[in-house]
Amino acid sequence: MQEIFLGPARFDASPDHRLDGFRWSADARSHGAVTVADLACNGEWNLWATAETPEWLTIHVPREGLSGMTRRQITTTASPGQMLLGQSREADRFLVRGGRHRSQKLFLDWGQICQTFGQLFEAPLVGSLDLLPLVDGSTPSGHLVKNLVETIISGMLGDAILLHSPIAMVNLTQALADLLVRLVPHRYSQRLEQAAFTPAPRHVRRAIDFMHANIAEPITIAMIAQSANVSVRSLETGFRTFKGATPGSYLRTLRLRAARKDLLDRSNLQSIRDICLKWGFVHAGRFSALYASVYGESPRETRRRKTSSKAS
């Protein structure tokens, strides 16, 4: 069961207690940014992320029994008619409960969520999104999300009709990420609900484009303002108004994400110190503190997870 179900899902698992007369069935398929799985068993299990587990949004759809997740010492369970959402690297563990259990699961590449967030907010997602873990399929928004999740799952399992249509898969995946960020409550939801939330003006967008194009260069705020053809003061006002940040902190966020990408890159042999310097963080101690405050782990812990994944 672990080989069939947890192989594509890349989690580790163990039964919650001794299993006698164990019976099970499982199926799992992957395509691009999405992996789906169907599991039925008569035992209770605990699942947790390993060094090889990608950053996924995991969506559990229980059919019989309960699906659960423990995060920050809080356990949330979903019953049939509900869905359970959790980021694979943030959850302490996932639970399979019930004398008889059946559930379907969709694992969505977290990069899809980050990309959608960036398009909606015109700003990078840093740290946890804190999506509400429990989605009720009886509410209008929950029903809409649940229907799309089930459409993707059913289309990838069985006769796998969706696997023969890459364009449909891409469109459905993008639609799902958009619905999740728009409809499921999270710590940025209030900004979406505010009537005053409008796209950033042209000079702010130009400044952001300049930052992306020169992220590894020693650029200054004055250079960024010049690229946008505005004064430093106007640039700072625009960023505070439309991005809730200063131009400097926004650039620091972009560089922090780039540093994390390097730390997780298995082919990158640079030291942590070299990565710090590459992305403009001169003081390694301050970089480590900032990194830990955003990602919940030190740069060394991120590098260690990548190294252990290679060893396995």
Residue 311 lies in a domain: no
- The total of other beta-carbon atoms located within 10 Å of residue 193's CB is 9
Q: Specify the CATH number for the domain of residue 36.
A: 2.60.120.10
- What pTM did the predictor assign? 0.69
pLDDT digits (tens), the chain, 312 positions: 777 777 777 888 888 887 778 888 988 899 889 999 999 998 888 888 887 788 899 999 999 999 999 998 899 999 999 999 999 988 999 999 988 899 999 999 998 998 888 877 767 787 789 999 999 999 999 999 999 999 999 999 988 899 888 889 999 999 999 999 999 999 888 877 654 456 678 899 999 999 999 998 889 999 999 999 999 999 999 988 888 789 998 998 899 889 988 888 878 889 999 998 899 888 888 888 888 877 778 898 888 765 444 443
Q: Which of 21, 22, 29, 17 is nearest to 1 (CA)?
A: 22
Based on the structure, what is the number of domains in the chain? 2
Structural domain range at position 181: 2-188
Both 221 and 290 in a single domain? yes
Indicate whether 274 belongs to any domain: yes
| Ramachandran bin of 214, using left for φ above 0, alpha for ψ from -120 to 50, beta for the remaining angles | alpha
CA distance 222 to 226: 6
Residues 23 and 97 placed together within one structural domain of the fold: yes
Residue partners of 230: CB distance under 8 A and separation at least 6 = 203, 238
Q: Of all helices (H) and strands (E), which one includes residue 79?
A: none
Q: Identify the sign of the CA torsion 93, 97, 100, 105.
A: negative
Q: Is 312 part of a structural domain of the chain?
A: no
